Amino acid sequence: MTSSGGSRIKELALEKDDLIDLYRQMALIRAFEEHAEEQYARGRIAGFLHVYIGEEATGVGVVSAMQERDHLITHYRDHGYALARGVTPEAAMAELFGKATGVVHGRGGSMHFSDVTKNFWGGYAIVGGLIPLAAGLALASQYQEQDAVVVCVFGDGATNTGAFHEAANLASVWKLPVIFLVENNLYGMGTAVEYVSAVNDMSRKAIAYDIASARVDGQDVLAVREAAQAALEHCRSGNGPFLLESLTYRFRGHSMADPEAYRSKEEVNRYRKDDPIPLFRNKLLSDGVATQEEFDQIDAEVLKQVEQAVEFAEQSPVPDPSTIADFILADSGAVH
Amino acid sequence: MTSSGGSRIKELALEKDDLIDLYRQMALIRAFEEHAEEQYARGRIAGFLHVYIGEEATGVGVVSAMQERDHLITHYRDHGYALARGVTPEAAMAELFGKATGVVHGRGGSMHFSDVTKNFWGGYAIVGGLIPLAAGLALASQYQEQDAVVVCVFGDGATNTGAFHEAANLASVWKLPVIFLVENNLYGMGTAVEYVSAVNDMSRKAIAYDIASARVDGQDVLAVREAAQAALEHCRSGNGPFLLESLTYRFRGHSMADPEAYRSKEEVNRYRKDDPIPLFRNKLLSDGVATQEEFDQIDAEVLKQVEQAVEFAEQSPVPDPSTIADFILADSGAVH
Amino acid sequence: MAREISYRDALREALREEMDRDERVFLMGEDIGAYGGSYVVTNGFLEEYGRKRVRDTPISELGIVGAAVGAAMGGLRPIVELMTINFSLLAIDQIVNHAAKLHYMFAGTISAPVVIRTASGWGQLGPTHSQTFEGWYAHVPGLRVVMPATPRDAKGFLKTASRGNDPVMFIEHSLLYRNRGEVEDPEDGDLLLPLEGAEVRREGTDVTLVSWSRGYYLAMGAAEELAKEGISAEVIDMRVLRPLDIATVVESVKKTNHLVTVEESWRSLGVGAEIAAAVQEEAFDYLDAPIARVGSLEIPVPYARNLERLIFPDRDKVVEAAKGVLARNLVPAG
Amino acid sequence: MAREISYRDALREALREEMDRDERVFLMGEDIGAYGGSYVVTNGFLEEYGRKRVRDTPISELGIVGAAVGAAMGGLRPIVELMTINFSLLAIDQIVNHAAKLHYMFAGTISAPVVIRTASGWGQLGPTHSQTFEGWYAHVPGLRVVMPATPRDAKGFLKTASRGNDPVMFIEHSLLYRNRGEVEDPEDGDLLLPLEGAEVRREGTDVTLVSWSRGYYLAMGAAEELAKEGISAEVIDMRVLRPLDIATVVESVKKTNHLVTVEESWRSLGVGAEIAAAVQEEAFDYLDAPIARVGSLEIPVPYARNLERLIFPDRDKVVEAAKGVLARNLVPAG
Ligand SMILES: Cc1ncc(C[n+]2csc(CCOP(=O)(O)OP(=O)(O)O)c2C)c(N)n1
Ligand SMILES: Cc1ncc(C[n+]2csc(CCOP(=O)(O)OP(=O)(O)O)c2C)c(N)n1
Ligand SMILES: [Mg+2]
Ligand SMILES: [Mg+2]
pLDDT in tens, A135-144: 999 999 999 9
CA of B190 to the centre of ligand 4 (A): 9
Q: Which of D173, D69, D181, D192 is nearest to D121 (CA)?
A: D173
Tell me the best of A189, A246, A255 to mutate to test the pocket of ligand 1, counting ligand atoms within 8 Å of each CB and taking the most.
Answer: A189
In percent, the amount of chain D with pLDDT more than 70 equals 98
Check if B180 contacts A (Cβ < 8 Å). no
How many CB atoms lie under 10 A from the CB of residue D273?
29
In angstroms, what CA-CA distances link C64 with A171, B23, B108, B200, B315? 10, 42, 29, 20, 46
Is the pLDDT assigned to residue D300 strictly greater than 60? yes
> At a CB cut-off of 8 Å and minimum separation 6, what does C244 contact?
C138, C238, C271, C274, C275, C278, D268
Q: Is the pLDDT of residue B335 over 50?
A: no
What is the pLDDT, as a whole number, of residue B2? 37
Mean pLDDT, residues A209-216 taken together: 98
Read off the DSSP letter of residue D332.
P
Looking at residue B26, what is its pLDDT? 98
Q: Which pLDDT does position C329 carry in this prediction?
A: 55
Q: Is A154 in the pocket of ligand 1 (CB under 6 A)?
A: yes
Residues C137, C143: contact at Cβ < 8 Å? yes
Cα(C90) to ligand 2 centroid in Å equals: 14
Q: Please state, in angstroms and rounded to a whole number, the distance separating the CA atoms of residues A179 and A159.
A: 14
Half-sphere exposure (Cβ direction) of B133: Cα atoms closer than 13 Å: 31
CB–CB of D125 and A321 under 8 A? Answer: no
Closest residue of C to D299, CA-based?
A: C141
Q: Do C303 and B112 touch (CB under 8 A)?
A: yes
D139 a catalytic residue: no
Q: What is the mean pLDDT of residues D104-119?
A: 98
What pLDDT score does C328 carry?
Answer: 79
Nearest atom (ligand 2) to Cα of B127: 26
Neighbours of A146 (CB within 10 A): 15
Q: Are D87 and A126 in contact (CB under 8 A)?
A: yes
What mean pLDDT do residues B272-289 have? Answer: 97
Neighbours of chain A (3+ CB pairs under 8 A): B, C, D
**Cβ-Cβ contacts under 8 Å, D89 against chain C:** 92-93, 96-97
A196 Cβ inside 6 Å of ligand 1 = no
For residue B268, the model assigns a pLDDT of 97
Residue A14: its pLDDT value, please? 85
CA of B254 to the centre of ligand 4 (A): 9
Mean per-residue pLDDT of chain C: 97
The CA radius of gyration of chain D, in Å to the nearest whole number, is 20
Predicted pLDDT at B10: 61
Q: What is the pLDDT of residue A332?
A: 80
- Burial letters for D54-88: b for 16+ Cβ neighbours within 10 Å, e otherwise? bbbbbbbbbbbbbbbbbbbbbebbbbbbbbbbbbb
What is the rounded distance in angstroms from the CA atom of residue D69 to the CA atom of residue D242?
19
- Average pLDDT in the C322-327 region? 96
| pLDDT score recorded for residue B332 | 80
Which of B222, B166, B171, B202 minimizes the C-alpha distance to B26?
B222
CA distance A319 to B218: 64
What is the pLDDT, as a whole number, of residue A176? 98
Residue D216 has pLDDT above 50, yes or no: yes
Which-ligand-closest: CA of D98? 2
Indicate if the pLDDT at residue A336 is higher than 50: no
Q: Is A133's Cβ below 8 Å from some Cβ in C?
A: yes
pLDDT at residue D20 in the model: 98
Residue of B133, B189, B196, B262 best suited for mutating to test ligand 2, as the one with most atoms within 8 Å of CB: B189
| B139: nearest CB among D71, D105, D165 | D71
Of the candidates C55, C63, C160, which has its C-beta nearest A166's C-beta? C63
- Overall average pLDDT of the B190-202 stretch: 97
Helices (H), B208-291: 221-236, 265-272, 276-286
**Around A183, how many Cα atoms within 13 Å sit in the side-chain half-sphere?**
30
- What is the tens place of the pLDDT at every residue in C188-206? 999 999 999 999 999 999 9
Q: What is the 3-state secondary structure (H, E, C) of chain C?
A: CEEEEEHHHHHHHHHHHHHHHCCCEEEEECCCCCCCCCCCCCCCHHHHHCCCCEEECCCCHHHHHHHHHHHHHCCCEEEEEECCCCHHHHCHHHHHHHHHHHHHHCCCCCCCCCEEEEEECCCCCCCCCCCCCHHHHHCCCCCEEECCCCHHHHHHHHHHHHHCCCCEEEEEECCCCCCEEEEECHHHCCCCCCCCCCEEEECCCCEEEEECHHHHHHHHHHHHHHHHCCCCEEEEECCEEECCCHHHHHHHHHHHCCEEEEEEEECCCCHHHHHHHHHHHHCHHHCCCCCEEEEECCCCCCCCHHHHHHHCCCHHHHHHHHHHHHHCCCCCCC
Residue whose CA is closest, atom 13 of ligand 2? B188
Count CB neighbours of B38 within 10 A.
12
Task: Give the pLDDT confidence of D186-213 residue by residue, as tens digits.
Answer: 999 999 999 999 999 999 999 999 999 9
User: CA–CA separation, B103 vs B101, rounded Å?
Assistant: 7
CA pseudo-torsion sign A75, A78, A83, A88: positive
The confidence band for B4, taking pLDDT boundaries of 50, 70 and 90, is very low
- B199 vs A: CB within 8 A: yes
Q: Whose CA is nearest to atom 10 of ligand 1?
A: A189
- Read off the DSSP letter of residue B115: B
Q: Comparing A5-19, B53-67, D102-116, D135-149, which segment has the lowest mean pLDDT? A: A5-19
Instruction: Tell me the pLDDT tens digit for each residue of C118-158.
Output: 999 999 999 999 999 999 999 999 999 999 999 999 999 99
Written as one letter, the residue type at D145 is: V
Is residue D136 a contact partner of residue D86, using CB atoms and an 8 Å limit? no
Average the pLDDT over B119-144 and give the result.
98
- Phi/psi at D293 (5° precision): -115, 130
**Per-residue model confidence as pLDDT tens digits over A271-307:** 999 999 999 999 999 999 999 999 999 999 999 999 9
pLDDT at B197 over 60: yes
**Cα–Cα nearest to D129, from C273, C274, A186, A255:** A255
Q: Is the CB of A182 under 6 A from ligand 1?
A: no
CB neighbour list of residue A93: distance below 8 Å, 6 or more residues apart = A32, A35, A36, A39, A306, A309, A310, A312, A313
Q: Nearest Cβ partner of A133 from C58, C73, C197?
A: C73
Rounded distance, CA B44 to CA B47, Å?
Answer: 10
pLDDT at A3 > cutoff 60: no
Residue A227 has pLDDT above 70, yes or no: yes
* Structure confidence at residue D110 as a pLDDT band (50, 70, 90): very high
* pTM greater than the 0.95 cutoff: yes
Nearest residue to C15 (alpha-carbon basis) of C134, C237, C214, C186: C186
- CB-closest option in A129, A138, A334 to C97: A129
Please give the span between the terminal C-alpha atoms of chain A, in angstroms, as a whole number: 58
Cα A175 to Cα B195, C28, C78: the distances in Å are 12, 16, 18
When pLDDT is averaged across residues C164-176 and rounded to a whole number, the result is: 98
- A residues 50-89 near C, CB within 8 Å? 71
Task: Calculate what percentage of chain B has a pLDDT beyond 70.
Answer: 95
D179 has pLDDT over 70 = yes
- Position A9 scores a pLDDT of 61
Contacts of D123 in chain A (CB under 8 A): 46-47
Q: How confident is the model at residue A10, as a pLDDT?
A: 61
Contact A162 B160 (CB under 8 A): no
Ligand 2, atom 9: closest residue by C-alpha: B189
| Cα distance between residue B132 and residue D93, in whole Å | 11
The whole-number average pLDDT for the span A182-190 is: 98
Q: Name chain B's partners: 3 or more CB pairs within 8 A.
A: A, C, D
Mean local confidence (pLDDT), A64-87: 98
How much is the mean pLDDT over chain D?
97
